[in-house]
Amino acid sequence: MLLPPAESARTVIPLIDHTLLRPDATQAQVRRLCEEAVFYGFAAVCVLPWWIPDVVRDLQGSPVNPCTVAGFPLGAHLPASKAAEAALCVEHGAREIDMVMAVGAFKDKAYTAVEHDIAGVVRAVGTKARVKVILETTLLTPAEIADATRLALGAGAAFVKTSTGFFGGATVEAVRLMRETAGPAAGVKASGGIRSLADALAMIKAGATRIGTSAGVAIATGTA
């Protein structure tokens, strides 16, 4: 039985990407994730590509978006591979793609190659899905975070996102810098280590318009 949403969480709930990216996730867990997302009214369910057909089926008729990842979790896939993965997931019904930036190439200042990598995914999904670019902010300096934000949005991404969670999580400082750089129109997703309503509210105050978390139910019910 699901607990009712907390009044204090009502502004946060529609911004949550309810996330399960564990390699040992099971079909039953994914189905439960979808049930929770529909019940609370989360923005999206974010899973590994294997589970996208199940998620699309389980979310059918609801406003919750099926979301998956490309080039996850390291971002070092060949550009054609990332684009093909994203396109195939969209064919199966994904409506949001969280792709990982080629962080090493970015650190090497291969900006044109990184921009082409992102733009390739954006082209591959066309108008059928929004692309969020994971910058892996804990591996970047503040100047690099700003540069990566500009590069990703310039390549056509709808959102910039802080982290995969594999190398640390979102910080208020990174989110604030991403928002200041992106301006008011672009999406900013805070993800990684957000486990409580207080965490989520701090990220939103800093400028996040999406919250990626595996603790969506605890945040929605105020039990975390």
Catalytic residues: 98, 161, 189
Cα separation, 41 vs 65, whole angstroms: 10
Judge residue 159's burial from the number of C-beta atoms within 10 Å of its C-beta, 0-12 exposed, 13-18 middle, 19 or more buried.
buried
Q: Are the C-beta atoms of 31 and 58 separated by less than 8 Å? A: yes
List beta partners, residue 181: none
**Cα angle 9, 12, 18; round to 5:** 110
Cα separation, 221 vs 81, whole angstroms: 39
